Amino acid sequence: MKKLEFFLKNLLLKILLLSKKSRGAAQDKKFDQNSKILFIRLNRIGDALVTTPLLHEIKESLKCKIYVLADRKNFVAYGNNRDIDKLIIFERGVKGFFDILNFIKNEKIDTVVDLHDDVSTTVSFLIALCRANNKFGLEKDNKIIYTKTVPKLDAQKVHVVDRLLEIKKLFNLNQGESNLSIQYYLTNDSIDKAELFLSANFPVSKFLIGINISAGSKARFWGIENYRRLIKFLSGYNVNILVLSSPRDANDAVEIAAENYVNFFSTDFGEFAAIISRLNFLFTPDTAVVHLASAFEIPMFGIYVKYNTTDMIWSPYKMKYESIITTNYNLEEITIEQVIGKLKPYLENILHEHSISE
């Protein structure tokens, strides 16, 4: 049924695109504090976090009203974000689809922006059918639905954040060098919970290394024995070690940490993010935690799957990191010896820099 639904949605989209006449180049509009702009980014948490530098730049420059349409899977990435005036969660299905169209109409949204790097059938329908005067996005196969697009930069050479930042041009904003970074805002409650957990479990303050074992799929789970051997290697330094996971992988985390090490998981993404913010170093597979490390300027070592693609990895944005990349469909071919060989000099340099700064 899922395959049939996907086929029908794409067929309908193709019919819509063929029947829709291009509006041509839209007239330049002056954007200011009275502008109402809806940004759309569905899917996963990492997909949302990489959009935050653009949102921050638009808010800071235009002082406009910013709305974000997010997914149930990723809306937590926008929680407490001071750049967003209203966060809307997209409810999938026919009712949810028409609710958003009505919201755009009733709220008098003047500009809708597609933040997807690739074509999303659902978002394409929303943009094609909504009544906003301006419809912006990266230039893709569905470019006819937009009033203005900006060329999509080479995904093999340009970081996803910088590709999205090209959308600034559609708002007539300066494209010069900036100090933009991933944005995530912690609540005081999350900070307090993290402080309480860390002080209770690490009474002696030391350089804190977080080992995140969870990723978006089981294909990116590195294996219990590999993580145990990694911990054994790291325990040779004068550091505290914290095993991090999603609730789904909590049993694996307990087994990896065993009786000698501390593990942490939480259903509260804000609390999890607050823990990440307190780390001095992070080891992780490719996941949203990579972008939290960017937000909090945490040096990182990543293990990445780059299977059947030539695109750049979604590395930490403008942050110090080292990584090992496999072109296999999972992490099985990455050995502990490979990791230690590359991790050791990198970590020791970070430890040295940390000791100097104290």
pLDDT digits (tens, 9 = 90+) for 64-78: 999 999 999 999 999
Q: Where are the domains of the chain?
A: 9-171, 188-357
- Phi, psi dihedrals of residue 119, rounded to the nearest 5°: -75, 125
Residue 20, pLDDT > 60, answer no
Q: Name the more confident of 27 and 175.
A: 175
Summarize pLDDT for 329-349 with one digit per residue, the tens. Answer: 999 999 999 999 999 999 999
Residue 26, pLDDT > 70, answer no
Summarize pLDDT for 211-249 with one digit per residue, the tens. Answer: 999 998 888 999 999 999 999 999 999 999 999 999 999
9-171 and 188-357: same fold? yes
Q: Mean pLDDT for the chain?
A: 91
CATH of domain 188-357: 3.40.50.2000
Summarize pLDDT for 98-111 with one digit per residue, the tens. Answer: 999 999 999 999 99
How many whole angstroms separate alpha carbon 298 and alpha carbon 276? 8
How many whole angstroms separate alpha carbon 183 and alpha carbon 346? 26
> Helical H runs in the chain?
2-19, 45-49, 52-62, 94-106, 121-129, 160-165, 188-201, 224-234, 250-257, 269-277, 289-295, 336-357
Q: Using N-to-C axis directions, what is the helix angle for 94-106 and 121-129, rounded to 10°?
A: 40
Closest residue by Cα to residue 244 from 205, 206, 198, 189:
198
CATH number of 9-171: 3.40.720.10, 3.40.50.2000, 3.30.360.10, 3.40.50.1820?
A: 3.40.50.2000
How many whole angstroms separate alpha carbon 294 and alpha carbon 329? 25
How many whole angstroms separate alpha carbon 53 and alpha carbon 164? 9
